[in-house]
Structure 1
């Protein structure tokens, strides 16, 4: 049997997951109003167990390992190492904060998932659109997931949406969504070939809007010199990025700063060229 090359391994690791391997996390909720039930805006993510199975299937159960380290301040750093041949391996690292529930276990799981994305595992989910779902007081299907928002006093169940329907496609390594297919006309920024001072050129990989105690923020995934990196956008920068309707593979220029926690914060982002 022919040994798969690096590109084949990368593509196999990035193959879409089955519906039962996907879970959904709420970004925000809306209380019941005018007789309408409460709703939640949910985004998909892959289960840690599914990532382990993918690694077993593609590279072999004995050809990968993970390492966990604790960061100053309590964060979790995790590396995944895979062997692509008997004498060559690749290790990629990423980290996460401890979670509110089961802090250590949750932090390890989050860091594991982030490191897996660097190997293309589940990366297409970062380009999936968040979807609105209704919250009901009781289960309506066996697949329903429980949700609670203590701040808004919202509790109940929602039926996970399908990855194959909705008003927008998922953007993965096999199919792209053009700006023309969006529901609203994109405000396409004029292309430029000059990189402004203080900015660097990279390739856009995807984004994901998140919610924290201090407010919303956006994870912006970029590729530069063969490496995948995650930067963060806050405030008005989120609106600017949303207005660009970026597509995976487009060349962009990014300006950033480092905050007190050592995270790279996007200060500006422009499109240099559109994806083919």
Structure 2
């Protein structure tokens, strides 16, 4: 079967898990549109299909993809849970998303870190007997290791301010690549400035100078 790619920051939703006076927790999700996009991208629009079936009182979804090497359909099935708003539509969407996880789409989110946002970094207010916030959150950066596990994560609020950071253990080149992504500076610009053909050929002292310079550069979209 084709290799399912890892999720991009723009494909991940942040939802509040718990909230209280001292802070809140965030959970990472994907939606059905992301699943369909990746299925189209990896297998082609005509090379995957979904079917739904009721078993007992539960709605199941079977997602099948065409395996070109084996010349056969490969299927995964899972059950959905109903939503409060639309019972049947909620079960259909949830079962589809779960079946796609069985195929490997977004499975990395199941091992996401515990995301705690202290009250000082968000606007929490008490309404009656419960706490609420109108803040919105988005993943700015996400990094994975070779085992497809999340090792680095940056989350910002609707104002572009950093409210959660998980630092990955990185080599100097990894740090440079991350800083290039954060600042929007082109790699070619850095190489030209330091007279290099590639980062790999640079001596260690050059790596540190590059890192120090980039860290002084403002982020292109997220202010700390």
* TM-score normalised by L of structure 1: 0.47
Structure with higher RCO (Cα < 8 A, 6+ apart): 2
Structure-2 change in CA distance of 1:154 and 1:55 (3 Å): same
Is 1:80 equivalent to 2:63 in the alignment? yes
2:140 and 2:54 map into 1 onto residues whose CA distance is 35
- Tell me, yes or no, if the aligned pair for 2:123 and 2:134 is still in contact at 8 Å: yes
Higher strand share: 1
Is 1:159 equivalent to 2:136 in the alignment? yes
Among 10, 15, 19, the residue aligned to 1:25: 15
Alignment gaps of 5+ in structure 2: 152-165, 167-224
The 5 Å alignment of 1:38-57 reads 39-57=23-41
Q: Secondary structure at the match of 2:137?
A: coil
Structure-2 change in CA distance of 1:72 and 1:172 (3 Å): farther
Larger radius of gyration: 2
The 5 Å alignment of 1:213-252 reads none
Is 1:103 equivalent to 2:103 in the alignment? no
- Tell me, yes or no, if the aligned pair for 1:27 and 1:43 is still in contact at 8 Å: yes
Q: Secondary structure at the match of 2:103?
A: coil
1:26 and 1:77 map into 2 onto residues whose CA distance is 27
Structure-2 change in CA distance of 1:162 and 1:107 (3 Å): same
- Tell me, yes or no, if the aligned pair for 2:108 and 2:148 is still in contact at 8 Å: no
1:97 and 1:163 map into 2 onto residues whose CA distance is 29
Aligned to 1:136: 123
2:128 and 2:60 map into 1 onto residues whose CA distance is 30
The 5 Å alignment of 1:59-78 reads 59-73=43-57, 75-78=58-61
- Tell me, yes or no, if the aligned pair for 1:127 and 1:170 is still in contact at 8 Å: no
Q: Secondary structure at the match of 1:162?
A: strand
2:129 and 2:49 map into 1 onto residues whose CA distance is 41
Among 126, 132, 147, the residue aligned to 2:110: 126
Post-superposition CA distance 1:24-73 (Å, at most 9, x none): 2322221x36xxxxx32111111210110100010000000101122323
- Tell me, yes or no, if the aligned pair for 1:22 and 1:46 is still in contact at 8 Å: yes
2:8 and 2:74 map into 1 onto residues whose CA distance is 26
Q: What is the deviation of 1:126?
A: 0.6
2:149 and 2:97 map into 1 onto residues whose CA distance is 23
1:118 and 1:69 map into 2 onto residues whose CA distance is 17
- Tell me, yes or no, if the aligned pair for 2:124 and 2:131 is still in contact at 8 Å: no
- Tell me, yes or no, if the aligned pair for 2:26 and 2:116 is still in contact at 8 Å: yes
Structure-2 change in CA distance of 1:102 and 1:176 (3 Å): closer
Q: How many residues align?
A: 149
> Which segments of structure 1 move beyond 4 Å, counting only runs of 4 or more?
149-152, 169-172
Aligned to 1:188: none
1:79 and 1:28 map into 2 onto residues whose CA distance is 32
* TM-score normalised by L of structure 2: 0.56
